[in-house]
Amino acid sequence: MRRPHWNGRGLTRGLAAAAAATLAVGLASCASSDRGSDASSTAPGSGAPGSSASGSGGTSGSAGSGGGAAADTFIFGAAGAPSMFDPLYATDGETFRVARQINEGLIKFTPGTADPEPALATSWESSADGKTWTFTMRDGVKFHDGTTVDAAAACFNLDRMYNQTGAGATQAQYWSDVMGGFKDQKDDAGQPVPSLYAGCQADGNKAVITLNSSTSKFPGVLGLPSYSIQSPTALQQYDANNVQAQGDSFAYPSYATEHPTGAGPYKFQSYDQANNTVTLVRNDDYYGDKAKTATLIFKIIPSETARKQELQAGTIDGYDLPNPADWSGLKDAGFQVEVRPAFNVLYVGLTQGNNPALADLKVRQAIAHALNRQQFVTSQLPEGAKVADIFYPDTVDGYTDDVTKYDYDVDKAKSLLAEAGQSNLTLNFWWPTEVSRPYMPDPKSVFTAFKADLEAAGITVNETSKPWNGGYLDGVEAHQADVFLLGWTGDYNTPDNFIGTFFTRTDNRFNTGTQPWGAELSDQLKAADAIPDKDQRDAAYVEINKKIAADYIPAIPISNSPPAIVVAGNVQGLVASPLTDERFASVSKTG
Amino acid sequence: MLRYTVRRLLQLVLVLFVLSILLFVWLRNLPGGTVTAILGDRATPEKRAELESVLGLDQPIFVQYFKFLGRALTGDFGQSTGVAPGTDALQVFLTRFGATVELAFGAIVLALLLGIPLGYWAARRKGGVLDSGLIVVSLVGIAVPVFFLAFLLKYVFAVRMGLLPPSGRQTPNIDATRVTGLFVLDGLLTREWDASWDAVKHLILPWIALATIPFAVIFRITRASVLEVQGEDFVRTAEAKGLTTSTIRSRHILRNAMLPVITVTGLQTGALLVGAVLTETVFAYPGIGEALAVGFTKKDYPVIQVVVIASAAAFVIINTVVDLLYAVVDPRIRTR
């Protein structure tokens, strides 16, 4: 082996020069960076309550360090990577957020509300028994690949959903949650799993959907991303149903990873995993108002702090769910914090069958009286949050506040516990770590407040905290907690989407099936869901809410909390949605 | 040399096998997991059972492990469930590996370029102002947590001053052709200078943050080593022989002083990976460090497995290379 001959002086000088050069390059880059100037434009309000109309937060300029994107590009900071781009198989918000820009369903939701409005169908009507729904399709609409959007395409999509098998059926959770079984699905006893869906027939420009029973879920559910109408040509060409279980997870076909084809205002362009960005481009053939920005980019930034700093640096134009603690600071800095109407509920769950004391209604009433919900809402939740007396917000059908109320009353709580012979009650109270939810921005502070409340009423609280997906959800579902914190954000405007989801099944997380009233409540919910007439249905839900509050108390509703979405000061046209159904096509930027 | 290399490779295989068993069993005994990661908080008990059955998660753990091993030997580590859901886990690793290579390589080069000359100068001027100042700097470099430093750099230079991008690898809408997956290099190869420069600008702050500890260690080792070597008998002999100062410094002092520096540089690669997890997390830099951090948050077992196993392999291989280099530099080792 030959000895290398080093010239020490040359070496050290060379190294020194290189070191100096490295530093110089770094400093030079700082000095010559082309940061866009702060846009001090006064942007008009974005059309939602709570927007701050002026701001200098957004920057614009050429792409590059510290400069926001050009005016025809909107960059949104996403908290996570989309699972894939076929919303039928998705359950997570980040996947839906992208899918909502690419796809449309038969109906959509009026911006800023949870009310259905026409989309690929211009109108719809239901038969008197609520089992037949006829959708009149919009004429002259094309999917991104040029395929015509018609009644046959709509039925092709619904049949495709119903016909899922194997891994696809396991993944199509929003179908099974809402519609029940799939075409060939059998239960453990070999019996077909009942489904709401009976079929779909194309009749000229009308898609006629037949159901096995009337349901309050229609037509609202058809506005969910999972029920998007996608191009039959592309679905077939790229083998869309070919989902495979592989190792610990699923492998998706190229339709879902590379070729999603809808009829929405943006078209899929690329998912650059190396740079963690998803890029969509304007669909110039969109039937409605064309997207105002030519390019829509989702930049995946897992850390909320990092998302906030990117917004402050002007390298993204907005992000979702800013921490309520940051709202005022962001507003002061000129960013627009758009507060959504609250469409969620936080509750304290009471597991039946775990702690025998909780089977006694008096004990559950005592806990309800012990919790100082107003104090919690006032001190911990953002402006606009409300104490909840029932399990859904007042914007949902069948709302009533004429229910038994459980005002904060420690003495009442103590006397109820005494009557129940539970003056020395001990409860195992679970709360989640490593998570922030729109209805529960800071779980620890929720727990701390309620623990103190319960102790003030003489209840001993044993604390159990576990990571959200590190034992918490699994433990709650396995009924290991006596008392736990959880909540729900609604998908569409029906009581069924809230209380139906919670209590229709009796093997729910509250374990209501272990109590006689569990099946009773379940039957009432099923019956109410199947009432075709809306007024009668709403009246039935009012009665159910009264009974839940007075006779059942499977959990204690706490609050409805308005989450927010934040954009730069130079962004206009964003309409905050209670369903997180923001359509970015209406968004534009100045400067 | 060949026998030595073969022996090291066999050791590597054994290490990876044992590591894969430990990792597999440990991950699956953590609370939570794949089912919750995939289904979220909307899963019914039936759905959970169905998914466990579909994915084979209801089978005994050793059956699951050998299935995993069988697939892994063909390069199939399963699909990501959280970092890049639905993407092949090995693909996730390979896609992000380039990012971490760019980051780690740049950081170690920066640490060497600054650490060796400054360590040498400090030793030559022992006790002087420069020496004392640099020692203080290196102490601070070792003492300040990478996470904090990264955050500070980002806040000052990106968020407050806007001189550099706060996070990411490249400006999203820049025209860039991917060739090797190393963005800086790709830009140079395709003559897309803007893209290359843009990637460099995204790397400057992460490089500085990640280079701090290796710089401090290399500086101190170089300094101590030079101090030790220049007092050795063979240096006095060389001086007595009338060799020029430059020859003595290069062929005797610096070359011999480099031995511990090479060792420590190799060892620093392991520390770099740990540092990369923190640095990449702060800068939302999509490398394997961030994949690991997000993977643990989202219980993405396939990605965690492939990242840990591949990183362990890389660590062993790098140390093998360092040992071989050592033999090249130090003839005494070769003769043993």
Q: What is the pLDDT of residue B248?
A: 74
Write down the mean pLDDT value for chain B.
85
3-class secondary-structure state, position A497: helix
Give the phi and the psi of residue B118 in degrees, each rounded to 5: -70, -35
Residue B37 has pLDDT above 90, yes or no: no
Q: Is A437 helix (H, G, I), strand (E, B) or coil?
A: strand
Query: What pLDDT does A63 receive?
Result: 32
Strand, helix or coil at A132?
A: strand
pLDDT of residue B10 exceeding 70 = yes
Say if residues B220 and B134 touch (Cβ distance below 8 Å): no
The predicted pLDDT at position B270 comes to 67
* Residue A426 or residue B273, greater confidence: A426
Estimate the crossing angle of helix A8-32 against helix B193-229, to 10 degrees. Answer: 140
Place of tokens 């500070």: B152
Q: From A280, A274, A278, A277, select the one nearest A261 (Cα to Cα).
A: A280
Residues in chain B with CB shorter than 8 Å from the CB of A5 are 251
Position A18 scores a pLDDT of 38
β-strands A483-489, A344-350: how paired? antiparallel
B204 at the A interface (CB within 8 A)? yes
Picking from A102, A251, A189, the residue whose alpha carbon sits closest to that of residue A584 is A102
Give residue A69's pLDDT: 59
- The pLDDT of residue B223 is above 70: yes
- Among residues A66, A386, A83, A448, which one has the least CA distance to residue B159? A66
Q: How many CB atoms lie within 10 A of CB A545?
A: 24
Contact check, Cβ <8 Å, A245/B32: no
Residue A43 pLDDT > 80, yes or no? no
Cβ burial of A528 (10 Å; 0-12, 13-18, 19+) is buried
The predicted model gives B218-240 an average pLDDT of 82
DSSP H helices in B79-177: 89-124, 129-143, 146-153
* Chain B residues whose beta carbon lies within 8 Å of the beta carbon of residue A249: 34, 38, 55, 78-81, 85-86, 302
Chain position carrying tokens 């619904």:
A158
Residues 166-185, chain B, touching A (beta carbon < 8 A): 166-174, 178, 181, 183
In this predicted structure, which of A43-52, A405-414, B36-45, B205-214 has the lowest mean pLDDT?
Answer: A43-52
Number of residues in chain B: 336
Dump pLDDT digits (tens) for A461-487.
Answer: 999 999 888 889 889 999 999 999 999
A486 and B CB contact within 8 Å: yes
Quote the DSSP letter at residue A461: E
Beta-strand pair A277-282/A266-272: antiparallel
Domains of chain B, each with CATH number or no CATH:
2-73 (no CATH), 89-335 (1.10.3720.10)
DSSP A218: T
* Residue numbers in B near A245 (CB within 8 A): 54-56
Amino acid sitting at position B266: G
Range with lowest mean pLDDT among A136-145, A533-542, B207-216, B320-329: B320-329
Rounded Cα gap, residues A270 and A274, in angstroms: 12
Q: At what angle do helices B193-229 and B255-282 cross, to 10 degrees?
A: 140
What is the distance between the alpha carbons of residues A406 and A193, in angstroms, rounded to a whole number? Answer: 40
pTM: 0.85
Confidence of residue A303 (pLDDT cuts 50, 70, 90): confident
Q: Given this model, what pLDDT does residue B333 score?
A: 65
Whether B209 contacts B279, CB under 8 Å: yes
Total length of chain A: 591
Residues of A in contact with B281 (CB under 8 A): 302-303
Q: How far apart are CA B35 and CA A361, in angstroms?
A: 34
**CA A392 to CA A390: how far, in whole Å?**
6
**Per-residue pLDDT at A248:** 75
Q: pLDDT digits over A484-532, tens only?
A: 999 999 998 999 999 999 999 998 999 999 999 999 999 999 999 999 9
Q: What is the pLDDT of residue A302?
A: 87
The whole-angstrom distance between residue B245's C-alpha and the CA centroid of its chain comes to: 37
The better pLDDT of the pair B1, A376 is held by: A376
Structure tokens at A151: 């009644």
Kindly state the average pLDDT of the residues A291-316: 93
Among all chains, which residue has been given the structure tokens 């080069």?
Answer: B109
Percent of chain A with pLDDT over 70: 88
Q: Do B86 and A252 touch (CB under 8 A)?
A: yes
pLDDT at A60 over 50: no
Structure tokens at B20: 């894969």
Q: Which of A509, A431, A492 is nearest to A226 (CA)?
A: A492
Name the CA radius of gyration of chain A, rounded. 27
Q: What is the mean pLDDT of residues B11-28?
A: 89
Per the CB < 8 A criterion, the answer to whether A560 and A344 are in contact is yes
Q: Is pLDDT above 90 for A14?
A: no
B 268-327: CB under 8 A from A: 281-284, 286, 290, 293-294, 297-299, 301-302
Q: What is the DSSP string of B234-271?
A: HHHHHHHTT--HHHIIIIIIIHHHHHHHHHHHHHHHHH
Candidate from A200-214, A369-383, A446-460, B233-247 with smallest mean pLDDT = B233-247
Average pLDDT, chain A: 87
Q: B239 pLDDT band (50/70/90 cuts)? A: confident
Residue A265 CB: number of other CB atoms within 10 A? Answer: 27
- pLDDT tens-digit readout, A164-218: 998 899 889 899 989 999 999 988 888 999 999 999 999 999 999 999 999 999 9
User: pLDDT category, B36, cuts 50, 70, 90?
Assistant: confident
